[in-house]
Structure 1
Amino acid sequence: MHGFGEDQRWTLARISDLIARMFHTRYTLRGTAYLLHRIGWSVQVPAHRAVERDEQAIATWRREAWPAGKR
């Protein structure tokens, strides 16, 4: 993808560099953020979850222990 690996994040610096390469126009990082905001893009932060996370145990805790603690 445009010289960046599949597992890489799209930072403002990379987007600015791509705009410069494709359109021969340089923007500052703030200018790039402004352009992206104007076209409706927003910051996306990946959710980091522990490998050991047990979804079944979490669901059980939410259903049983959490309501008891709220009383």
Structure 2
Amino acid sequence: MKPEWRAWLAVRFRTYTPDLNPAEGVRAHLKNSLGNLTPCSIDSLVVLVRTRLKRMQYRPDLLDGFIAETGLIATPP
């Protein structure tokens, strides 16, 4: 890999901060909700993930909390 690409990649990936990404909160919440389940197949895992994500979709307070966790806004809308 050329040196200029290494420098570009280093700058690009150094600026990524998971703490400022609300999707990280969604993933963590999803992972915790699936923690004690043992799906029998990939298809059953897909159904469980979709169900959990659909439940989150109908909880705006939870989603607002993921955004507020980032600290990018003072209060949820």
What TM-score do the two structures reach when normalised by structure 2? 0.27
Bigger Rg over Cα: 1
* Higher helix residue share: 2
Greater RCO (CA < 8 Å, at least 6 residues apart): 2
